[in-house]
Structure 1
């Protein structure tokens, strides 16, 4: 039975569409460029190059060309300057202050210094006894193998039996300026002579003359070889207590 004209026309039309339309659609699919899958950044509306203009970001994401692995973080913290706290000075040494004018000493220190000067000028070593510290805070008398009694100890090192040579030395020492050591601490002390806390190589000519009133030029040479002043010295605390009368370094 021959097909009808309508059916034959429909069949031919379908055949043409299959022969023409199919290949065209297939060719278009082959030539369409492949697109990589979207990243999370692209889904949020950002492009893959976002942030690459930041040199720090590029540096942080750098890879080792040999291994392809991320490079380790830089040891230099670029924000260290901004994040750093106030500078801390690790140095704990407290500079020594030289006081040449007795009027600038604290009142308790001035009072004891005057009392020591008056006792020494009297020629009676026993007048030093009331000025010594008590059992709780004794005055350190370190001058060789001194007896337990500090006054007898002072007499034992004097060139005369009455201790007057030491009294004269005390007068000379207290006539110089004082060095304030450990300022602002519980051990704050005023030390005579100030040479005890100053480099002998840095003394001015007038200071050297003042030092020669206490020791000889030969003694100063020996002190420089030793490394500093090592003759007698007197220490008074900031609250006016006699802390020590010692010799040596």
Structure 2
């Protein structure tokens, strides 16, 4: 089983740039990150420090988010946010550059919350255009744009799998872009009341990425009640061949105890 450690939610006791090496020390060879900078267009020095931390740790960067705004403050993406559309577009080249230099192919674009004073129709039109632009921006490096439902964000409009698949279908229909896929975060889907097993049966072969956390609590596998092992195994059986993103909350000292017990590693 090939896991990738999300270093934006795990190992947070350490400074961000020390986390790739800590993931490596824990036995994993791959990491993923939310957007690791404050600005959509960070300085060259900031980008270099991030890239060097990945390379020096000897791990593969398997996933990177586009800038999603102030996540702790409640933002959930710039894709459909009209006032920040140009900022999102500026972010695309930076993301693609990091991906090209580090061999990363998967890029998660959080869709964005509904905004007061903006119609859903206008936001969705801008969202589709920006996703198409992002897909074109990473196509030259063989990249794929990922789109996911999320939980815990009342104004985020993509709550169920079909919500995201509808947007993906629109982008493909309007732009012809094929390199946009569904990110199946089993935790978010379960919290939002989705029949996760049914989604797997219907779509697993088309998943662009899988992320896992247990529920309740968004903790490590085995701390809650979700049949994560069964869902992952079934997704594999139905054709999913990618990484499994570890995107849960757990103190560093016990973050990977479940993996040790199961005899699995990176």
Q: TM-score, normalised by structure 2?
A: 0.21
Bigger Cα Rg: 1
Q: Give the TM-score normalised by the residue count of structure 1.
A: 0.21
